[in-house]
Structure 1
Amino acid sequence: MSSETSPSPTFWLPRSISSFQPWSLIYQLFQPEMRPKSRQDFTVAIVCALSLEADAVEALFDETYDRLGRYYGKQQGDANAYLNGRIGNHDVVLCYLSGMGKVSAASAASSLQISYTGIELALVVGICGGAPSQSNHQEIFLGDAIISDSVIAYDIGWQYPGGGVKDTLGRPNREIRTLLNSLKADNTLSELRNQMQGYLETLQQKGTRWRHPQIDDILFQASYLHKHHAPASDIQCACSESDVPEEICDNALEETCDDLGCGKGQVIRCRGFVEAAKASAYIRTVASADTVMKSGQHRDALVREENIIGFEMEGAGVWDNISCIIIKGVCDYADSHKNKLWQDYAAATGASAAKAFLEYWPRKKEDTRKTVHFMVPFARNQRLVGRQDEIDRLEELISTPGGPKKIAITGLGGVGKTQVALELAYRMQDREDECSIFWIPCTSYGAVEQACMAIAQTIGIQGVNPAEVKEHLKAHFSQRDGKWLLIFDNADDMDMWMKGSKTSSALKDFLPCNNNGHTIFTTRNRKVAVRMSSSNEIHVPEFNKETGVEFLGKLLMQKNRLRDDSYAVSALLQQLTFLPLAVSQAAAYINENGIKLSDYLLLLQEQEADVVELLSEDFGDDGRYKEIQNPVIKTWLTSFYQIQKLDGLAFEYLSLMACLDPRNSIPESFLPRPASKKKMTEALGLLKAYSFIAIQPGNGSITLHRLVHLATRAWMKNEKQYVFYITKAADQLNEAFPGNDHTNRQLLPRIPAPRPLPTE
């Protein structure tokens, strides 16, 4: 080209004019400014259990904003992994499950709600088993997509004749129901199927794994099992002589029908891959369970009874937490004849159907109201029982004009103070549309600062360091126009609140004051409660018998255990002092080991060392902090250290009383007398503030909580202090009640003997 010749202008043209989407280019050009500013701006979630399901969904993203939370992050305690992006007009968060099944899905959905509080719709997308024959003579083939308009949960009992428990989970919300009904119309459904096919073809152009597997689509008789069919003596496998799906060996499940020689005479439908038409989509009821449906006979029974089109394993878990729709591709016929070669293709059709569905889901307009935040680390406790009086009273205090601005929830460790505060938070969210709610765990200075930094980021306070953030939050909430509720959970450490440390001021100095706001404290230490909230205290007691039985029933997997042995139920609850945490721990052990209530009761009557070991067994609890030990014996360790730090005399009293038999009251005269009555009063007051002891108003005798008694002894033994204190207790008995003192002789029968000393 000559230097004197001007170059001709160069224009870029797409290969296909129909594929040119200028709005997409514009969106990408300004993506940093147009993508959601925070997690709260995402309204649609897609949940996938398998990596191949998530791969198919991600391949249909129009844009990717963030991977694994590097930009948007997630709430403390959220174990989920996320991918953020755009599908069509919707900003979407893709949530990866840790595994298959309802439990994994429910846990992930709970965490999803914590980190992404604006989610209005969840799509459970992936692969499933299909119901091949329908009552309306329609046929579902492998690779077709199913969309749920309702969900039925069924348990593993459906794998056995006469067994099974069904639970219709109800209908989606009104907006979802209206859309699904409109999509069932012939013309609209045909349009949806065409859009789905278009996205499927786009996906298949990106990778060959998403294409039809090019094998025949075979349906066997419902009663015909995928198993070894040769005589057992030939192949050393008992499944060849069994007609029970659960007895099919693992080797058979890994082999193809051709390898096993599944009989062609048992085939009732075969569609060759040459004649395979476009994938279709169907909208109707979907069944969800925690186990794979692998019985054609039970499949057909459910289909006839409930008009079901598919079987899957995650929808029911998400359904309990978020309004959701199940959209999945059919990879098998919910029988024992499963072929993994169909899974990628089915994942592709499921993802394509989900993207097509989102074309009809309206994008929400920006809300012009004041921004409302809800930052609570736990999902709503669906197993909460009782506590109605306490929660009603809290709501009354908060809603009363001119009422108290600071309220404390007190009670023994493990009694359920956090659960009361949690239910209050969700009720306030339901009732007060414009009230922001923030939760601050006070298990350590670090936990407080981490929560405060997260709150600051959420409400738009940027560029502050942890040392300054509490002062900024105090100023913000003191001046805020809208309503707010701050919940300080586990506010037990007196020094943290009243004195502070070398590196941090006392937390009381950072509490905001505003007529529009309220502050709730949960604490084991009633002295903290009085200092922080004056007399505005709600005390949470242990359960009564009726509530204890109801709570235990909600926790047990086998509900018939309550009916089978009512005596064991009552005796067990009494042994556990009706303490919710102890009951939860017992139920977890019973469920995990498949034992009867009477068996657990016998374990509680073993030697003390065995009982301590039993009550030290860890167990999972989604409603408690991961850094806090759940077992009832260990839950009071923090309290022991706090008492030891605050008042050495109080700790000495606790240790001495733990050396005596807890079945009897302890006269105050047994305790060593300090130099002043004031010190003794304060020491006993601290133990009473933690609900460890009760003092009888008449004679002043003291009772020590039975489980606290056991936990204290375990702590002393672990700290090698047992010999010292039991020796001192014996000396104190002799000094306070000498055998030749006729005045005190009448007290002797009521003085409990020191407990026997276990081997250290």
Structure 2
Amino acid sequence: MSRPETSANHTVYTQSLPLERYTVGWICALPCELTAARAMLDHRHVRPKNQSKHDENNYTLGSIAGHNIAIVCLPEYGTNNAAIAAKSMQATFPNIRFGLLVGVGGGVPGPITETGPANDIRLGDVVVSLPAGQGGGVIQYDLIRREVDGFRRVGLLNKPPTLLRTAVASLRAERRLGRQLTGLIEDAFAPDDECCEDKCDDDEESEGERWTYPSTGRDFLFSPGYKHRSSGADDCTKCMEAKSAGDIITRRPRKTTHPKIHYGNIGSGNSLIKNGLERDKLAQRDSIICFEMEAAGLMDDFPCLVIRGISDYADSHKNSSWQPYAAAAAAAYAKQLVCSITPQDIDSLAPIQAAHYAHTMTKDSLAICWVDARDRSSVELGLSCIAQCVLRSLIVHYGERVAATMFGFSDVTSLLLHGPIPPRTMQGAIRSLKSWLGKKSNSRWLIVFDNYDNIDEFNIEDYIPNADHSRILITSRRPDLQRSVDKAFDISGLDDAAALQLLLSGNRMYKADDTPTCPSVQAVLRKLCNFPLAIVQANAYINNRRLSMDDFLQQYEQQFIRPMSQKPRGPWNYDQVVNTTWEVSLSAIQAENKLAAETMFTCSLLGNTNILPEWMQICIPGIVDCKLHSLLSGFLDKHGKAASAICLKTLDIGRYLAMPAPLLLLFCSELSTCLAWSGWWAFSQILSIFTRQLLCQTQEGIIQTGHLYYSALYALSKGRLEKAEGDCRKLLLVLEKMETTEDLTGSFIKAQMLLARIMTRYKDSPKSKYGYKLACKLVRLIVSAKLYTEYPELLGQVAEYGQMLLSRGDTEGARIHYSNTIHLMMNSGAPKAMTFLWLGKYCGLLFQLGYYPEVEAYLRWMLNESLDTTRKCAILQNLSLLLTHQKKYGELELVARQLLDLERDDISNGGDDGQIIFPTVSLCTALLETKRSTEATVIANESFHLLRKNLGAQNHNIVMLEVFLRKLRKVNQKTQLI
């Protein structure tokens, strides 16, 4: 396991990733828990730049074993704080698949038997939440109901996700797991670690002493009734002095100090358990082996696994000296768990769904239920989640049996278990929900069906409860929906004052004091009908072209006639004013640079966030640099995102790009294939709607094959194997019927390889064996017949077989196969983008296996072959990391200087200023290791002043580099004194 790159008392922030790339959420509650979590990261990333405005969390970002992880520390204890932090995290990181709640807890020592304690839990051990008895892994012990014969706990929290439970089962089979955890802790908190300043501010003892095992002499288990003797002391010195016979429970000494792992129910509540008698009573009642204060707020809405290091025994005695080590042990287990899960396993999970039940259903409040209505599957998923919430609420108040009767649904267990809801269960839950909401006693509710635009695909009325008291709100961009509803409201423009403020706030050409009475400003607002989107678009165009209001009005009048006479043929008919502003902008771009217009069209299909240069290079030949930046900058917001780029779909793009519908659909199909090939599934969903619309306009076979290929790829990415297999077999039938077509042979082999990939995903099935045999046969055919000379893209299909070998666990076979395939790509004229993609994956595998010289050679080859500055910088970053790992500081200096020069040139051309930090730190690291601290200080100082000039003193990149610079100066001073 590798550690975060550190040098000279600083942490190297290796890269800045889009927020959508983070898939694991890590939550902790104490500063020492956060320190332990940071220490377990393989790489640290730059803090998020575009954090949700309602998210007050402070994040640490990084990666472990290829998984991108977002870490947050709670401001205070408690289930509510944990729930708020998790919701905020989901708002900022939309693709979080699961969570890990990692920290310290109070252990429950088992009753003493003849052979020792039943659960021999000691300080420093680790407890993992797994279902046991009647619990699902986490039990909210303070959620109880008074009954005739006393109190009874109610409610059932979700189990951890199946993927995590499977990973835990795999770790349980490890014979030396405790020894491995000790190794991780020692590696992360080695006494000679130069980055200890960043991890701990305790000057009284060294970093290694603070985070390693405190010794068995500090682990005392007192009898449940023996109370702590000094409320102000952090240890039990006075407890030991005042003890009598029987106050300390004698336990057999352990042979090792490695942490032991225990599995079972963890008790969670809003009160801290600090009483041995109460601890034992609750533990016996609910089969609890550990207590903590956050998990109950997460399990239902934030699927996660709880990992607790034991720092005390949930009694009145204090053991603060155990907290750092216990936190480190829990973090080490979390890292080991993450390392046992492959990125492909995580990608198969859907992101955590946002809450669909906005308010608790009480007597005097209105229950507001939000449902995403973009397609049938989203509606059914949303309603089934609402059904889950209603059923849980009823169980809390009435118990499971009565709740099932009241809700009219018998399969309670299947609905409430975490994970995908079976289709039959989902349909039954929806029927029960409609019936429940239709009761006259349930009148305080509102359902919002949002984004119902595909009215031809399904009928929303099928999902509306049949009740006189229904409150239904439907949002749509389809004006023909108005005929089917009781009341329809068109969204009108802003009032005059708000429209004027919006226009002035985004316009750099006019001052606020000069414009309120300016006739041309008022004329522009009247033409735009005060529509917010039209105003924003107009401002972007005016700023980019540096136009006066009069000039814009003239161009607007010229363009207005065209959209009036030729309205969009797409599924939505937007207000004419909005279309006109886009006509003005796109016409100018089309005239100046057709490639830029095609780029914007591609962005409109991909969505309006995180458009990467690599996509443009794959999808549109000829885009090799950032020359389009100045032309497109007027359509970017302050965070660099395309402003409403998706609205380009409403224009007649085919007319602008001179593309008939069949050719346009072929372009979309090829684009979707590139996206699927690159693994960016979330953005490919946008294409599916667009391609389905265009598919209705043509029946040409080649168009149909492209759509079926994409559809099968997308279904495979979501784990819908039967759908993927069906689409792929349809694709093969269509190709067989086509008499002659260009590239038929290559397309047929690609379709067969896709079928092989699908079949291998059927675990422990004859289909899986068939898939591997088919893939092997196709690889031999492509290589032996040298089909790749005529169809170079088939080498990508050959490389896919390496992924299949990896999924089977044949690492050495995959390495050999990748080596042969990469050799063919490099010597056969295969597309550079494809070669670089698979070579990157191969280098990742080689690095994991320790083939560092080979990785370095391949990186240097890519560096020589790459003409794109952005790609060169990425390669140089990877090469710097590799050289740092190998401690080749002489070569690191040369590479870091080259990267720093490129990044500084990029800043002068308007690039990302924050990217200069990595090469600065890398170069300074090399200089420090070669005893040149003065030169390192000069380099860091130059970068600091350049950043401050471009970003301002308060930017977090400035702050981070300033801290690094201060540490460099300290090192330099010490060196001079010596």
TM-score (norm 2): 0.36
Decide which structure has greater strand share. 1
Structure number with higher relative contact order (C-alpha < 8 Å, ≥ 6 residues apart): 1
TM-score (norm 1): 0.45
